[in-house]
């Protein structure tokens, strides 16, 4: 019989969760048409936002708005929408498994359900990085080259962006898991999920850079976890956050990672005792 310590070591051996990420990635490869339509939707969203901001710049008669030039704004749009797609606000896996009862089969296995959902989401992220974010980065480079604005690309900024992006993924995974845990209590979170998505997109900076918010609102929003998901990594990439400001933003991300990690642990232990499946 395996000892308790051996069981825990096996449960938190990250290598056993890699197949979950691989399976999700292969699932997207298998259903290319469906994924392709989502990518087309993101591209259309980028185009709509581009024409909107171009019209705003033209009508304002200014080259710089709140520290953003037009090529800066185009880069921001490309990165914000592609980053949002890389770290989706999706709790469908948890909701589905609770409704059809398949979560029971996962809970009896010597694995962490939380890590299983994280690595499954990671497969989604890797696919989107390859087929959306990298093309968007290439497009932003070409656009900034045309406008003679290549100064935004620095080794320091890119490295900090990668670190910040990884932290933002974990923050988003924790928030999604906490939201999914509500299914244990309510059994259906469709309405709650719609409200959460709207709040997330507004306060994370997907729809509009946070610098355009009123000063009092911006000072509050910048300390919320939503800003750490989209706004922080992109502002680091664009050089809007540099030096001490960039490091402070990353430290804030680390703080939110720790707080949300602890919250997911406490919440999971509380709600799993209330499990009621609707199928099986």
Between residues 255 and 192, which one has the greater pLDDT? 255
What does the pLDDT average to over 254-277?
Answer: 88
Beta strands in 15-83 (DSSP E): 64-65, 68-69
Q: Which residue has the tokens 């244990």?
A: 184
Residue 175 scores a pLDDT above 70? yes
Calculate the alpha carbon distances from 126 to 83, 96, 157, 205, 241 in Å. Answer: 11, 22, 21, 22, 26
What pLDDT sits at residue 7? 47
What does the pLDDT average to over 166-176?
Answer: 93
Residue 152 scores a pLDDT above 90? no
Quickly state the pLDDT bin for 247 (edges 50, 70, 90): very high
Dig out the tokens for 193 from the structure: 């999920």
Cα 276 from Cα 274, distance rounded (Å): 6
What pLDDT sits at residue 1? 45
Quickly state the pLDDT bin for 8 (edges 50, 70, 90): low
What pLDDT sits at residue 255? 97
Query: Average model confidence (pLDDT) for the chain?
Result: 86
C-alpha atoms less than 13 angstroms from C-alpha of 160 in its C-beta half-sphere: 26
């Amino acid at each position: 019989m395996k000892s308790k310590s051996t069981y825990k070591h096996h449960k938190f051996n990250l290598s056993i969760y890699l197949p979950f990420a691989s399976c999700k990635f292969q699932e997207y490869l298998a259903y290319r048409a469906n994924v392709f339509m989502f990518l087309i939707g993101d591209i259309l969203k980028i185009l709509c936002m581009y024409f909107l901001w171009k019209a705003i710049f033209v009508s304002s008669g200014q080259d710089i708005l709140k520290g953003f030039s037009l090529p800066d704004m185009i880069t921001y749009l490309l990165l914000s929408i592609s980053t949002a797609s890389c770290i989706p606000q999706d709790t469908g896996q948890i909701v589905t498994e609770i409704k059809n009862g398949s979560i029971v089969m996962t809970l009896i296995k010597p694995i962490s359900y939380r890590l299983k959902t994280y690595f499954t989401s990671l497969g989604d992220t890797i696919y989107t990085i390859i087929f959306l974010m990298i093309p968007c980065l290439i497009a932003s480079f070409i656009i900034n080259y045309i406008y003679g604005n290549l100064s935004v690309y620095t080794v320091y900024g890119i490295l900090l962006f990668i670190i910040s992006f990884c932290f933002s993924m974990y923050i988003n995974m924790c928030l999604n898991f906490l939201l999914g845990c509500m299914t244990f209590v309510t059994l259906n979170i469709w309405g709650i999920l719609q409200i959460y998505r709207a709040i997330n997109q507004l306060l994370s900076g997907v729809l509009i850079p946070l610098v355009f918010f009123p000063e009092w609102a911006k000072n509050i929003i910048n300390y919320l976890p939503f800003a750490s998901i989209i706004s922080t990594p992109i502002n680091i990439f664009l050089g809007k956050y540099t030096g001490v400001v960039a490091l402070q933003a990353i430290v804030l991300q680390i703080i939110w990672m720790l707080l949300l990690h602890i919250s997911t642990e406490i919440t999971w232990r509380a709600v799993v005792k209330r499990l009621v499946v609707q199928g099986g």
